[in-house]
Structure 1
Amino acid sequence: MTAAGTLGAVPPNPAQTSRLRTRLQALVRELGKFGTVGGISFAIDLAIFSVLRGSGTEPLLAKTISTVIATTVAFFGNRFWTWRHGQHTHMARQYTLFFVMNAIGLGISLAILALSHYGLGRIWPVFESQLADTISGQFVGTALATMFRFWSYRRFVFRVTGDSAKDQSVAPSSSSAH
């Protein structure tokens, strides 16, 4: 018991705690699926980029080609698995938005790669090596671009609503349905 005008402990609201826990669990599952699709796409991107750079392809062109191929794989994985409960009203619209968001993500990766290879490489030639290109373009650039992509896919492309998150948490066995 507290005196009038003083603050005391507020008892937890079980309904709010349960809803928050449910939403958090749904978000964790979503991040896991996004990460799995992203990991597969990253491996494809890395392999193609490495082969192209090894064959003498210019770094920015190699990154562009590898990203376009990996992005196509990521679209199908995210649409039909990660956010299959999201709004899917118009596939052409989603595909277009997905590629626009990936173009922005590619721009982020290319900016990091260009800064490393052409900016820092002018000062320190080691930054012009294939290893430096791989680290800056594939790891640093991709990490920054991935944060942007998760946010933009969820917000603009596959639009996860509150009802969609509830659907995922109510029927956990539905994650293996597709």
Structure 2
Amino acid sequence: MATTTASNPSLAQKLRGLSGEAVKFGIVGLTGVVVNAGVFWVCLKATGPVNSFSGYIATSVAIGTNYIGYRYWLYRDRDAASRKREITLFLIFSGIGMLIENGINGFSVHVLGYHSATSQLIAKNVVGLIAGTVFRFFSYRTWVFKALPETAAEDGDGAADGPAAAVPSGSELAAQAERMLAAEETRFAKAE
């Protein structure tokens, strides 16, 4: 069966779609960065355990903020049938991103010896955040917020085929025709 440009988008079209998604991801992420940096800065001014866990506290608050943005704005059209699965995966991948982000901060403090609040802010919220964000972007779009499955008609080898994927199979088409015929018969019976 012949494929069309609409059914098999070019690399440029795929990248354009991905870049739009990346921009929205960045907007939600930027909101999280502001929340993260603000909470981190406040926690650094505290004493005791709050100061010690400031990176984890700040990242946790930002994760909550970002989930709301991703679920209800960026990925609102994605499958939300299993919210429990989605939240579980979101928290797992966010946790890994948090470990990446705060691991870089820990490396800069404990290995490189950067102890000032400014150097920690740069290590965590610039270097760590970039590395964690790249990881989160690909893991969220791949595993957490899955695209809704398209209705697909399968050809002989079991693979969906472009625009024909929206065409019902023979048995589905026959069932639709029978329902339409039954509805017409009911309508004519009422008219008599």
TM-score range for the pair, normalised by the shorter chain length: 0.7 to 0.9
The aligned amino acid for 2:17 is A
2:88 to 82, 96, 112: 96
**Is the counterpart of residue 108 in structure 1 residue 100 in structure 2?**
yes
What is the match of residue 40 of structure 1? 31
Change (3 A) 1:82 1:60: farther
Q: Which has the higher contact order (CA 8 A, sep 6+)?
A: 1
CA distance in 2 between counterparts of 1:104 and 1:44 reads: 19
Query: Which structure's residues are more often helix, by fraction?
Result: 1
**Is the counterpart of residue 70 in structure 1 residue 57 in structure 2?**
no
The aligned amino acid for 1:15 is T
5+ unaligned residues in a row in structure 1: which ranges? Answer: 1-12, 122-126, 164-178
**Is the counterpart of residue 131 in structure 1 residue 112 in structure 2?**
no
What is the match of residue 147 of structure 1? 134
| Cα deviation digits, residues 49-74 of structure 1 (max 9, x gap) | 00110223565500101111110110
2:9 to 9, 19, 39: 19
CA-CA distance at 1:25 after TM superposition = 2.6
CA distance in 1 between counterparts of 2:95 and 2:133 reads: 12
- Identity over the aligned pairs, expressed in percent? 28
Task: Assess if the C-alpha contact under 8 Å between 1:60 and 1:110 holds in 2.
Answer: no
5+ unaligned residues in a row in structure 2: which ranges? Answer: 151-192
CA-CA distance at 1:19 after TM superposition = 1.9
TM-score of the pair, normalised by structure 1: 0.74
The alignment's C-alpha RMSD in Å is 2.2
**Is the counterpart of residue 117 in structure 1 residue 104 in structure 2?**
no
Worse-matched range after superposition: 76-85 or 58-67: 58-67
1:50 to 37, 41, 49: 41
CA distance in 2 between counterparts of 1:137 and 1:88 reads: 32
| Cα deviation digits, residues 82-102 of structure 1 (max 9, x gap) | 112222111121111101001
CA distance in 2 between counterparts of 1:80 and 1:23 reads: 23
Task: Assess if the C-alpha contact under 8 Å between 1:86 and 1:161 holds in 2.
Answer: yes
TM-score of the pair, normalised by structure 2: 0.69
CA distance in 1 between counterparts of 2:107 and 2:130 reads: 16
CA distance in 1 between counterparts of 2:120 and 2:21 reads: 31
Post-superposition, which runs of at least 4 consecutive aligned residues in structure 1 deviate over 6 A?
none
Change (3 A) 1:153 1:66: same
